[in-house]
Structure 1
Amino acid sequence: MRRCELIRVLGGIVVGLRPHRLLVVAIAVFALLPIEVSDAGWLPDLFKSSSKHPKAPKRAKSAKPARLARHRAPSKQRATRLAALGPVALPPSASKPAAAKCDPSALRIVLDVGHTAESEGAISARNVAEFAFNLRLARLIEEKLKADGFAETRLLLTEGKARPSLFKRVAAANDLHADLLLSIHHDSVPNKMLEDWEFEGKKRHFSDRFSGYSVFVSRNNPDFKTSLLFAELVAREMKAEGLQYAEQYSQPIMGPDQHPLLNKDTGVYSYDKLIVLRRTAMPAVLLEAGSIINRDEELKMDSPERRNAISSGVASAVKEFCEPRWALLGPL
């Protein structure tokens, strides 16, 4: 039985039901329906079926990521549940095709490895360059995304000094016609906050004052709305992994490194002038995975367990970005 045929059956069932029973039926049916039925506006049709003068529902416009393709077919279990309801006549309003969804095999994600071998970024409390942390984590994220079917994932390695390399990576991402960019970094603190300590017989610098991940977007990105959507998904997955976000960026003590906190629950900040976020032609997000200048957190960031947690969280965020309602309901 085709999905949309169910609408007329439901309309007949709910006629004459009391309001509170009608709500219970609607909720129960929603649990049985495949995702595509909600796209066709079945819930408004269901409630309007008992009206004397029903009106055709308007299709809502929804934001979709670039490079959309058809949604995967419903699972066998979903189809079995629908088939059990039996055949009915197909209403004319149900003949419209379901909205297209993201195709994981076609979605092109660029994983930008922050900094370069010539300009290595921050130096950890134990004298390890940030670039080494970034590259190792980005490769693991790439591996997980490809294993999840995102075959078009690209690892972006850039050469050169700091500022010129920023424009190079933006140009490379744009040339790849990417649908989404995620820049991978590890955090430090302004130099004025650094303290001295001795490690392996040599003087090093550290700051145990702050820790945690943070996620940045630019309100000047050409697709800020989608950038923010993906940033929220990444941040929520980090939080779901039991991680805490770095709160210092909203504090005046950070001086010029202070940034507006867009979501105090998840740790999403705006960094409007950052080149890699505002100059890219696609939605772009920057993830500071954790603080490597914090001596305790550096050890955690160097552990397979923490890298696995972060990379798994990013992979889950990408899957939800691609198929949001499937991620919400989960398998039936």
Structure 2
Amino acid sequence: MRRCEFFRVLGGIVARFRPRRLIVVAIAVFALLPIEVSDAGWLPDFFKTSSKHAKSPKRAKPTRSAKLAKHRAPAKHRATRLAALGPVALPPSVLRPAAGKCDPATFRIVLDVGHTAESEGAISARNVAEFAFNLRLARQIEETLKAEGFAETRLLLSEGKARPSLFRRVAAANNLHADLLLSIHHDSVPNKMLEDWEFEGKKSHFSDRFSGYSVFVSRENPDFGTSLRFAELVAKEMKAQGLQYAAQYSLPIMGSNQHPLLNKETGVYSYDELIVLRKTAMPAVLLEAGSIINRDEELAMDSPERRNSIASGVAVAVKEFCDPRWALLGPL
């Protein structure tokens, strides 16, 4: 489409909307354009003021070699120019080139069920193993993703003791040639924070001090940038479900379990040494869905309603990761 023809079409569209919706329309149009058009460098000129054009001296017409150099500029340079404009209200995924969108029918996400039947992870306030919580939630997420068209979703169950099973699950994920890995866990607290109580006549432990979800990435993952982008989407959807993130991981009281908080708004942390995040060949994210050592939250995590809510949030995050335009326009 030639430049003048584009502006005639865009003018007709804009005339139908109120002024306060103009920016949303412009963003939607830009998102739907082929990436070659946006790279050509003329669309951003539309957003410059006429006064600046009037005061600017006329520049010489760029040579063919200069145009080619501009077209081949790395994506990170374009992102730097965007960052110079300051914070924006759009999620980072919207800046992802449209050419990178995936086909849900062939996109393969591996859902790693945290821990194993032999090494069950944390024990809840009511003496239920974390592995049981992880498996139920992972199966619900699998069912929801497949219902949304992600037919290649794979559930990953590992066997054996804790550390050896970590390397086996990484090898299995890599052999599946997955595009993305999401490891499902449920949270507890360090032993020094536990308190004693009895449940159904059995001695147990609890800590009602902390609650909430948390999302982890490793800066040593071979594709940390993509891992972080998906982590942000997952965390954003957890927050949209009305959930709060677990803030304790940034506190000194956590000792060796303290981790850097990468986003204080959504609860994304870095956990660089975690094998399942660091050694996988694909982008990887770990979700602590909630605390099962907190007595009230354990009951919530055990409910079908909470599992459905989390699974729906993960599905929305995957859809937006697969095609950023979905966040602006809904299903296409």
What TM-score range do you get, normalising by the shorter chain?
0.7 to 0.9
Q: Deviations over 1:244-270 (max 9, x none)?
A: 000110000000000000111100000
| 1:330 to 1:34, Cα distance in 2 relative to 1, 3 A | farther
1:305, distance to aligned residue in structure 2 (A): 1.1
Q: Map 1:270-281 onto structure 2 (within 5 A).
A: 270-281=270-281
Rounded to whole Å, the distance in 2 between the matches of 1:261 and 1:226 is 17
Match of 1:83 in 2: none
Q: How do residues 145-164 of structure 1 correspond to structure 2 at under 5 angstroms?
A: 145-164=145-164
Aligned match of 2:31: 35
Determine if contact 2:110/2:180 at 8 Å carries over to the other structure: yes
Do the aligned partners of 1:261 and 1:269 also contact (CA within 8 Å) in 2? yes
User: Identity of aligned pairs, percent?
Assistant: 77
**Counterpart mapping for 1:188-227 below 5 A:** 188-227=188-227
Conservation of the 8 A alpha-carbon contact between 1:35 and 1:326:
no
- 1:327 shift after superposition: 1.3
Residues 284/9 of structure 1: CA separation in 2 closer, same or farther (3 Å cut): same
Mapped partners of 1:228, 1:110: distance in 2: 17
Q: 1:1-332 counterparts in 2 under 5 A?
A: 4-5=1-2, 7-11=3-7, 27=23, 30=26, 33=29, 35-37=31-33, 39=35, 40-41=37-38, 43-44=43-44, 46=46, 58=71, 61-62=74-75, 99-330=99-330
In structure 2, C-alpha distance between the alignment counterparts of 1:295 and 1:24, rounded to whole Å: 47
**AA paired with 2:157?**
L
Count the aligned residue pairs.
286
> C-alpha distance in 2, partners of 1:230/1:130?
24
- Counterpart code for 1:298: E
How many angstroms does 1:28 deviate by?
A: 7.7
Are the structure 2 counterparts of residues 58 and 292 from structure 1 closer, same or farther at C-alpha, using a change threshold of 3 Å?
A: same
Question: CA RMSD for the aligned pairs?
Answer: 2.8
CA contact (8 A) 1:217 1:224 kept: yes
SS in 2 for 1:205: strand
CA separation of 1:196/1:34 partners in 2, compared to 1, >3 Å: closer, same or farther? Answer: same
Alpha carbons 2:134, 2:185 under 8 Å: kept: yes
CA distance in 2, matches of 1:24, 1:60: 33
SS at match of 1:99: helix
Q: Structure 1 residues 112 and 11 mapped into 2: Cα distance closer, same or farther (>3 Å)?
A: same
Q: Which has the higher helix share?
A: 2
Alignment partners' CA distance in 2, 1:28 and 1:251: 39
Amino acid across the alignment from 1:225: G
What is the CA–CA distance in structure 1 between the aligned matches of 2:278 and 2:22, rounded to whole Å? 44
Q: 1:296 to 1:325 in 2, by over 3 A?
A: same
Q: What is the one-letter code of the residue matched to 1:159? A: E
Gaps of 5+ in 2: 12-18, 77-97
Shift in Å, 1:202: 1.2
Q: Shift of residue 109 of structure 1?
A: 0.3
TM-score, normalised via structure 1 length: 0.79
Cα separation, partners in 2 of 1:277 and 1:29, compared to 1, 3 Å? closer
CA contact (8 A) 1:10 1:46 kept: no
Shift in Å at residue 289 of structure 1? 0.1
CA shift, 1:99, in A, is 2.9
Amino acid at match of 1:205: H
Distance 1:207 1:32, change over 3 A: closer
Whether the 8 Å contact between 1:170 and 1:279 is mirrored in structure 2 is: yes
Which amino acid letter does the alignment assign opposite residue 206 of structure 1? F
The alignment partner of 2:215 has SS state of: strand
Matched residues in 2 for 1:14 and 1:200: separation?
67
Deviations 1:152-207 (A, max 9, x none): 11000000000000000000000011110000000000111110001101111100
CA contact (8 A) 2:319 2:326 kept: no
Give the residue type in structure 1 aligned to 2:204: R
Q: Is the 8 A contact 2:28 2:328 kept in 1?
A: no
8 A contact 2:112–2:182 mirrored in 1: yes
User: What are structure 1's unaligned runs of at least 5 residues?
Assistant: 16-22, 64-97
